[in-house]
A = this chain, B = another copy of it.
């Protein structure tokens, strides 16, 4: 069976933009193995109807996922999941992480945290979030 629109839980009034909720959930579903390469995403209109939002909003989210290399657009058919972690090779994934982490590291130095303290904090975060992943 194709993935249904019920995959997503969207809360338009949560303060978090709808398109961002959608992107995060697709990525999480892929990371969690509930969406595998080759699967089609539920159609824009289907999701839009289920969540009572505008199709364009869903489309924008899907477009961003395409730009990120998470899904592929199949004209007239829909969006197909690509290989997870294949938006680019290791080099690109590392770069994305570096860009995301740089401000935090910068701030940590300003705060006078030592390298050791920073690594320890990172370790703790890794443990917590790894746990959260297996609970999915």
A residues bordering B, Cβ < 8 Å? 27-28, 31, 84-85, 90, 93-94, 96-98, 100-113, 115, 117-119, 121-126, 129-130, 133
> Do the beta carbons of A108 and B97 come within 8 Å of each other?
yes
Cross-chain contact of A85 among B106, B112, B119, B123 (Cβ < 8 A): B112
> Do the beta carbons of B109 and A100 come within 8 Å of each other?
no
Q: A27-B110, A96-B107, A97-B118 are in contact. List 19 more A-B contacts (CB 8 A).
A: A28-B110, A31-B110, A85-B111, A93-B112, A97-B121, A100-B103, A100-B104, A101-B101, A101-B108, A101-B122, A105-B122, A105-B125, A109-B126, A109-B129, A109-B130, A115-B126, A118-B122, A119-B122, A122-B122
> Do the beta carbons of B110 and A98 come within 8 Å of each other?
no
Q: List 30 A-B contacts (CB under 8 A).
A: A27-B110, A28-B110, A31-B111, A31-B112, A84-B112, A93-B111, A93-B112, A94-B113, A96-B111, A97-B104, A97-B107, A97-B108, A97-B111, A97-B113, A97-B118, A98-B121, A100-B104, A100-B107, A101-B121, A101-B122, A102-B125, A102-B129, A104-B104, A105-B126, A106-B129, A109-B129, A115-B123, A115-B126, A119-B119, A122-B122
- Interface of A: prevailing SS: helix
As for how many copies of this chain the complex holds, the number is 2
The 6 closest A-B pairs by CB, nearest first: A100-B104, A101-B104, A85-B112, A31-B110, A93-B111, A105-B125
